[in-house]
Structure 1
Amino acid sequence: MSLERPVHPDPYELLPTVPTFSVTSSDVTDGQPLNDAQVNEGGNTSPQLSWEPGPEGTKSYVVTCYDPDAPIVSGFWHWVVVDIPADVTSLDTGAGASDDTLPGGAFHVRNDLGTREFTGAAPPAGDQVHRYYFVVHAVTDEKLGVDSDATPAVVGFNLAFKTAGRAVLVGTYQH
C-alpha cells in the first residue's frame, strides 16, 4: 500500500481573506524542514515565535500549529493556544509545555493527541513531506469565548467570526 496522496491545499487560502502580518521564529524557517526539537521523537518542543502587532482592532491572539497533510480527512492539530493578551507579541521556545509557561491568562485546548500542550511532528515513516502551519491569529475580542475543554474545531469556528488578521509560518518534515 502506497502512502502517496494528493497534496492538500493550503487550509488558510480556503478561508475568507483577512489582513496579514508577519511572524518569524528563531526555531522554524519558512518553507524549510523543522529542527529536531520540534519533532515528537527529537524534543517535542514548541518553537519560539515573534510577530508584528496585529491589525487595528486586535484585542488578543490565538496561536496554532496544524498539519493538513496528516493521513486523515481532518488533518492534525499539534498546538492550540487561546487568549494570548494583545500586548504579547512573542512566545519563547518551549512555551507550549503547559499553561504555566504561557503569558497572562493564555491557555491550551487539547491537541489531537488529547493533551494540552505542543506535540511535535510525527508523520508516518515513508509518508510524503508534511507541512506544519504555525499561525498567529489576531482576534477582535479579549477572550475567544472558549474554555480548555474546547476542541480545535470549536476554536476554529470561533475564529471564523473573530479574526482581525493572520500571520503564517510553515515548516516541513518527513520521517
Structure 2
Amino acid sequence: MAYSINISASEISSAVFLEFKHLSDEFRIVKICRFQCIGWILDAISKVEEEVKNGAIWVNPEVSVQALVEFAKIPEVLAKEIIASDSRDEIFNLAWNNLSDEEKNTAITVNFTYHRNFWLGFETYAKAITLHLANTKKTKDLEEKVQQLESDLRRGSKIISLVENDKNEHSM
C-alpha cells in the first residue's frame, strides 16, 4: 500500500489521517511521469478533503505538502501554492508550468488505455497538444522542403543559364 487514509470516529467527532509510504506500485505511471505523480498525490488528498467536508478533522494536513516535495520533487513553496489553491485550472497550471519540456512530452504521450490518468480532462488536452505539435512539425517539414526546392530551382536556373550562354558563345 503506497498510501493509507485512516478514519477514526467517536460519538461526537471523527478524524482523518493520511500517510504516504512510497510511490504506487499499482499505478506505475506515477513512477514514469512526474505530472501524473502530482495528480496521484492530489487524488489521495482529495479523498481526505471529502472526509473533512463530511465533518472529520484532518489530523496531519502538512503531509500534503511533504508528499509533493518528497515524491513529486516539487519545491516546497510551489507545493504550498498548489495545496492552497481552490482552482483546478490554477492547480493544473502551477503543476504543468513546473515541468521541463521533456516531462511535458512524457505527460502528453502517455497511453491512457494502459495507464490511469489522475487529471480530469487531461487526455483531451494531451491529444490536442500532440496534434498541434504534429501539425507544427509537418508545417516545418514542408517549409524545409519548399526551401530546398527553391534552392534546387535557383541552382537549376543557373545551370540552364550557363548552358544557354555556352550555346550562344559556340554558335557565334
Q: TM over 0.5: same fold?
A: no
Specify which structure has the bigger relative contact order, considering alpha-carbon pairs within 8 angstroms and separated by 6 or more residues.
Answer: 1
Structure with more of its chain in strand, by fraction: 1
Q: TM-score, normalised by structure 1?
A: 0.25
Structure index of larger Rg: 2
TM-score by length of 2: 0.25
Structure that is richer in helix per residue: 2
